[in-house]
Copies of this chain bind each other. A is one copy, B any other.
Amino acid sequence: MIEAVSKPAQSSALDVIDRCCIAARHAAQRLRGLPDAAKARALRQAAVAIREDAAVILAANARDMAAGEARGLTAALLDRLRLDTARLQAIADSVDAVAALPDPVGEEIDRRIAPAGMTLRRVRVPIGVIGIIYESRPNVTVDAAALCVRSGNAAILRGGSEAVHSNRALHAALVRGLGAAGLPEEVVQLVPIQDREAVGAMLAAAGGIDLIIPRGGKSLVARVQADARVPVLAHLDGICHSFVHASADPMMAEKIVLNAKLRRTGICGAMETLLIDRDYPHSAPLLATLADAGCELRGDDMVMELEPRAVSALDEDWDTEYLDAILSVAFVEGLDGALEHIARHSSGHTDAIITSDKAAAARFQAEVDSAIVMVNASSQFADGGEFGLGAEIGIATGRLHARGPVALEGLTTYKWLVDGEGHIRA
């Protein structure tokens, strides 16, 4: 019997990712020197291509939707997956918006004269190769890639399986547009395999990928944080607190608290725990307003006494991100009590105080160690666009490199330029 010629071994996930990294590094080197106008033009071409390919992209999305429905995805997940004409237009518009953002590359951060007399300048440069690991929302394919290109970085994208056709179609349009402006194809790569090992290979690619940003649910983010050998910018939990100080203006408190919990319950900046100063005289109406608006309140005996619709809180409720119309409520002993609760339970994302006492506001801002610390504002503002940063690739609650909304600046690093005139060191 003639032996069949053995099929060549399937590329392992490591090989695939390795090739992506090498290609991305070359693309990053080319992108690094591209002027502002060239990057902006390329992004505008990408927006054009996305609009031109609308039918193809929506057809691809229809395939994902059908598969998702057949698999029994929840309504919420299907909604995240869905693209329609309006959403696709918004995606293209956001690429144009990113194209219009000022180029961070080359910006002079500071300048000084060295003791020996040379001029020292710190200037922004791209980080290099950025890996985005995401699930659900197909728009991330485009949004994250656009921010990377704007800041001179090459991107390696690895999206969720449920959106595989949508991601491929969006990526194809994106790359067609960037290519029409002369950018190499590998500036934005979509990892061509969907198996779990691809994620592991990306997480292990120290030296190949310079930064990984996960976008998705807790289990994805937790896995990335636990396993990555590559630096990561991420937030795991958004357990955001709002503290109503005894001196808070009741109308302001009500307005902010309702907005912070209920404007959109599913975003990371939504308030998950309300802390009320025992000396605040308007708790009952505040709790009633929340309950009237359909919010389930979970608290201690005092909460349940003031608001009969409230139920008893369990210990784990203080560390739970509901992403729903559910709120943990606790009474605390003044600012000290609020600070102590936040120190124990905050996830370091966004915490707020509502107060008319300037000293209390100042102390809250000084002592709370979260990425965003607010006075008299809704935690729903925890967003790059709302911070005037133009766009956001994610929110980071780690301690290094970038904290809070990560925008174009967070996708850069810097180098020192030294200008001498023959200076030698003594």
Contact = CB atoms under 8 A, between A and B. Distances in A.
A255 B422 contact: yes
A387 B33 contact: no
B369 A32 contact: yes
A252 B385 CA distance: 50
Interface stretch (A14-22, A82-90, A120-128, A135-143): A120-128
B386 A115 contact: yes
A218 to B, nearest CB: 16
A252 B422 CA distance: 5
Contact of A33 (B125, B367, B398): B367
A118 B420 contact: no
A413 interface: yes
Contact of A419 (B252, B258, B376, B417): B376
Interface residues of A, number: 66
Most buried by B among A127, A371, A419: A419
A343 B33 CA distance: 14
A260 B422 CA distance: 11
A301 to B, nearest CB: 30
Interface stretch (A62-70, A180-188, A400-408): A400-408
A416 B127 contact: no
A125 B369 contact: yes
Interface in A190-246: 210-211, 231
Given A256-B424, A367-B33, A120 B400 contact: no
Most chain B CB within a 10 A radius of its CB, from A33, A375, A385, A423: A423
A381 interface: yes
A400 B413 contact: yes
B419 A386 contact: no
A48 B259 CA distance: 55
A343 to B, nearest CB: 8
A80 interface: no
Contact of A415 (B371, B413, B415, B425): B371
Nearest to A110: B409
Interface string A123-157: 00101100000000000000000000000000000
Nearest to A207: B225
Contacts of A258: 424
Contacts of A414: 403
A378 interface: yes
Given A367-B33, A425-B259, A413 B418 contact: no
3 closest A-B pairs by CB: A377-B420, A259-B424, A374-B418
Interface of A: 29, 32-33, 112-116, 118, 120, 125, 127-128, 210-211, 231, 249, 251-252, 255-256, 258-260, 263, 343, 352, 361, 365-367, 369-378, 380-381, 385-388, 398-401, 403-404, 413-425
18 contacts: A33-B366, A115-B385, A118-B381, A127-B400, A252-B422, A259-B424, A352-B418, A370-B415, A373-B416, A375-B420, A376-B420, A376-B423, A377-B418, A377-B420, A378-B425, A380-B424, A399-B413, A401-B401
